[in-house]
Amino acid sequence: MRRGRALGRTAVTAAVALGIGLSAVPAQARQQYEGRPPAPGIENCTATACHFDLPPGTYDVRVTLGGDLASSTAIGGETRRALLPETAAAAGERVVRSFTVNVRTPEGEPLGTEGTPGLDLTVGGTAPALAGIRVTPARHARQILLVGDSTVCDQPGDPYSGWGQRLPQYLRKGLSVANYADSGESTVSYLGNPFLWDTVRPLIRRGDLVLIQLAHNDKTTDGATYRAGLETLVAGVRERGGEPVLVTPVVRRWFNTDGTLNNNTALLVNGLGVDHPAVIRSVAADRDVPLIDLTARTKALVESLGVEGSKALYLSNEKRDNTHTSVHGATVYADLVREELLNLGLVPRGKVRVG
C-alpha cells in the first residue's frame, strides 16, 4: 500500500496565450494600487503554469478564464491536486472562479519529499485560457483535514491518485483541503509516528472537519487495538475543537464468481477476522461521530459497473492493481465524498461545486 508521493490585462493575457516572456508585459499591468506592492498575479505565469513565492499557509486564488476563442480550462497545483474542474468559456467571454488552497511542506504526503517551495499551479484542460489570476492570504477559511492512507493521499506519480487529491476541485473559496494522508499507514503507525498524528493534531482549529479513513494497512491489527486507535483519533480531534468524521475504506476490486464483492479481501476484513468497516460504523454510532460509509458506496458502484466496467476506477489494466485508484476512479470517489458531506450537512451547499 506504500506509494512514493484592460491594456495591461490584455497584454498579460496575450503573453500567457503565446507563451512569451512575461518580462515584456507593461509594468502597469502588475501594479494594482498606486504606492502599494502588487498582489501575486498573472506575471507569475506562463502558458501552462504559475509559480508564487509564498510561505506555507492557506491562500485564496481568483482566476479569470477565457479568451478570443472558445476555451475550457482546468487548474491543478502542488502535488497533482485537482483545484478547479474544467470550466468552459464561450469565445470572448470571461468566467471568474475562486478556490482556496493549502500550501505546506512537505507539499504532498507527510513522509514524502518536500516538493517545491511556494505555490505552484498548472493550467490545463482541453483548450486552456487563463486571462487573469490573483492570490491573497485566506481569511477565516475552514479546513478539511484528511487522515488516511494511499487510497486518500496526494499521490506523487501518475497513474496513481488518491480521492483526497481530487476532492479540492469540488470546493469553493472558503474551504481548503489539507491532505495529511500517507501511503502505507495503519491506525497504529499513524498514531505512533511523530510526523503524522502529532503533527496534524496541533493544526486542527475550532470548526475544522477531520476526515479519518484508515483500514487498508491494519492487516495485523486486532479488533480492540483498531477500535482504540479510532477512538483516540476521534477524541484528539474533539479536544482541539474540530469535528471528526469517520470514513469507511474504499473497497478493493476483488470479485466473487457471482459478480459481487462479498469477500474479505474486497470488504477489508483482515487476517484476524477484524471487519474494519463494521468497527468504524460501531465507533461512529457509539461516539456520535458522523459517518461516510465509503465502503458501501464504492461497493455498490463497483458491482453496478461489473468486472470489466469497474477496471477504469482502479489500476487494473495499468498495474494489475485492484486497490489503488486511477485519476478517474479517485475523481469518482471524491465526488461520492462530496455528496456525503452535503447529505450529512457538514458543509454548506454554497461552498460545494456540483459534480
Note the pLDDT of residue 205.
97
**Buried-exposed string 255-264: b where 16+ CB fall within 10 A, e elsewhere:** beeeeebeee
The conformational region for residue 259 under phi > 0 = left, psi -120 to 50 = alpha, else beta, is: left
Number of Cβ within 10 Å of residue 349's Cβ equals 8
Report residue 205 as a C-alpha cell.
Answer: 482549529
Residues forming a β-bridge with 75: 84, 123
Note the pLDDT of residue 72.
98
Alpha helices (H) along the chain:
7-18, 163-166, 187-192, 197-200, 223-239, 276-286, 294-309, 316-319, 327-343
Burial class (CB in 10 A: 0-12, 13-18, 19+), 251: buried
Report residue 125 as a C-alpha cell.
Answer: 484542460
Residue 344 DSSP label: T
What is the C-alpha to C-alpha distance for residues 249 and 241, in angstroms, rounded to an integer? 25
H or E element, residue 309: helix 294-309
Q: How far is CA 324 from CA 111, 119, 251, 292, in A?
A: 19, 27, 10, 19
The conformational region for residue 328 under phi > 0 = left, psi -120 to 50 = alpha, else beta, is: alpha
Residue 45 DSSP label: B
Note the pLDDT of residue 35.
44
327 phi/psi in degrees, rounded to 5: -60, -40
Q: What is the pLDDT along the chain (355 residues), one digit of tens a residue?
A: 544 433 233 333 333 332 322 322 233 333 333 344 556 899 999 999 999 999 999 999 999 999 999 999 999 999 999 999 999 999 999 999 999 999 999 999 999 999 999 999 999 999 999 999 999 999 989 999 999 999 999 999 999 999 999 999 999 999 999 999 999 999 999 999 999 999 999 999 999 999 999 999 999 999 999 999 999 999 999 999 999 999 999 999 999 999 999 999 999 999 999 999 999 999 999 999 999 999 999 999 999 999 999 999 999 999 999 999 999 999 999 999 999 999 999 999 999 997 5
Torsion of CA 217, 337, 204, 160, to 10 degrees: 50
Give the pTM.
0.89
Note the pLDDT of residue 15.
35
Cell 491506525 belongs to 187
Quote the longest CA-to-CA distance of the chain.
Answer: 72
What is the C-alpha to C-alpha distance for residues 324 and 153, in angstroms, rounded to an integer? 11
Note the pLDDT of residue 354.
77
